[in-house]
Structure 1
Amino acid sequence: MLAVTGICLATASPAFADSDPENPEFTLNSSSECEFGGKNIKSTPWSLQRILMDQLREKATGKGVTVAVIDTGVDDSNDQLTGQMASGGKDFVGKAKDGTQDVEGHGTRVAGIIAAKPMAGTGFRGIARDAKILPIRYTGAEVGGKPKQGNSNTMAAAIDYAVQQDVDIINISSDTTKRQNPPPLAAAVKKAVDAGILVVAASGNDGADGKSRDTYPAAYDGVLAVAASDRNDERAFFSQAGDFVDIAAPGVGMVSTVPVGGQCSDDGTSFAAPYVAGVAALMMEKYPEWKTPQIVARMQETAQRPTTDPDRYLGWGVVDPIAALSDDTEPGMTPKPEAPKQAGSGQVTPMKVTMGESEAEREQRVSIYVVGAGLLLVLVTGGSGIAIRDWRRKHSARTGS
């Protein structure tokens, strides 16, 4: 049985010391303490308020799509996750054969963002509620009362297993800065990508300094690397920057399911990655004939961004689920930025973000000046009338007229 309460693994620094530099352990990209078996959050999270869930559900629900969550396990005793697991889960570090034990709580939250069922009394639900989760625990076990953590070997084994299970998407919400090339991890990732599986990975939480650095497996070729965005569709301050970043998704104040029952709110690229995985599941249901690179290309082309080109903070921008599912024209294998428009074409080219005021702000400022000048004129005119009246009264009193 799981404990009633638990601490979710920490922050930006590595969660565990690497005992073997050639076989590093991984950081779980989240940052809060959560109560297991706690209460549900009644309100709808901001990350779901930004999309029209009813409209999204009309387009797709993720039915027929399986997402492997390679993490700390997934506790399906939470009511919103009961019945959401695919058969064949596996535990590579503990004794839960099907991967449905989660003493850390991390994997359960990741799974909830993808496929938690709607439930009365809470506004939270998964992006792709009819997708199935294949729980694979590669780290975060307890054996004989002692913690047992995974590393690149167990992650590689977990990826290989997911490939054998013929999943559609693999979600990995952990990272290391230590590149593993050649095998085992790089080879496992390549095998998954070559099999047509979409591998989604968190970019990492060490980005507060704004410096670029590669993290793995996110930076491997063919992996969809996900940064975290905030409520303003800007990079969350902790989100790792780098040229490998492909796309961004909400990663601040992310509500999701926890073991035993209830929900909690947390920050991290850990929860941006499954948001993207959920959107991908919707797209795979709606566009079953599209190849994985086409799914990714359409997602990137329709993402929200201030310029035509990607950058190292948000990649191609913040994922827009409705937009990604609204264009049925078949995309190419790589994203194409909008070409600059010819002058007089009647189309608008997105402008680069500047520190100056926009045209709308300038018009608002001028309007304020006009109104202010009008009020000043009224005051001056009124004041002049009063002054003239008083002068006449005084003059009449002196002359007796």
Structure 2
Amino acid sequence: MSAAASLRRIGVPRLILHASVLIICIIWLIPTLGILVTSFRDAGQITSSGWWTALTGAAETSAARLGDPASARQDGPNYNISGSVFDGGDVKSGSVVAFGTRVAAPTEFEAGKEADLGDGEKLTVNTDGSYFYVKSGPFDDKRGKRIYLSITQPPNFTLNNYRTVLTSAGIGQSFINSLTVAIPATIIPILIAAFAAYALSWMKFPGRSLIIALVVGLIVVPLQMTLIPLLTLYNDIGNLFGVSSRSYVGIWLAHAAFGMPLAIYLLRNYIAGLPKEIIESARVDGASDFEIFVKIVLPLSFPALASFSIFQFLWTWNDLLVAMVFLGTGKDQLVLTGSLNALLGSMGGKWEILTASAFITIIVPIIVFFALQRYLVRGLLAGSVKGG
């Protein structure tokens, strides 16, 4: 029975159900869309406006100095200076929306209209950046009057952020390291937990209830509590056999150990809910427990296996702490999260690098999630709906 059908049975209208799912999807997608859009914008527009303005342009506040007073031309009793605010300024192009003489009020005057600055001074700044500055007497400011501008920049998208991240030293090797860690660390606990879940569901032996209770209790044990004991154990084993404990085998076993309680719990709930008649019929036909597990239980348990695969892969792919403890921090040992973390540390607080790095990190989990998401809810809820 599907989750939607179960909710309808307890009185939840279909419209509310669909609206709730839609709201959850939107909430989940908005941050991802923001990261994606921001990762293609240049640094100036990221700091001056939000990602939702990417298609309409960004308004930036900039400062400029008017021309040298020594170049002023006299026109009767008045003196005037003309030029462009883009000459020699930090901003080279754009459309001037407004201007002002105080940093607190850069939009005090509208572009294209003459502004009375007082003391016989009048200033006009056009949208193309050209200006005309008039004063009823010689100019006193030796460096030129400082003004502040509100400038609209056209949308500007770039691939330089991704080039910076992807061409930085060690990123390619770190990507391979992450795949080398995540794939086996997802498969190993699934294989072991599937056998254990079948045994705890359909095989009678003393202490089965105690083992189930122990598995449930281990789910809430914080990972950080086990890091030092496990690392000590690995080091002792490595010293005993004369091999380094900082290896892929060590981190595979560590991730398998951390993921095993949840895997056994999820798979046991699902396998225990399979129709009892199928298992009994196979036993009557003379099938062994191994044959029942391989030929019947595993194919029927694919939704639960896929559900746990999503959780475990996301965890191992995004992990940094366990990888640094059990694999190491050498240049050839860093996983992708560690390498990108080091890159961010060396690049400072550059948002364009941060967002590009974040999207490179999440692109693989997103592919895995969408490939298996149709089995996710089915695998998580089937055991609770059918009973176990």
Q: Provide the TM-score with structure 1 as the length reference.
A: 0.18
- Greater share of helix: 2
Name the larger-Rg structure. 2
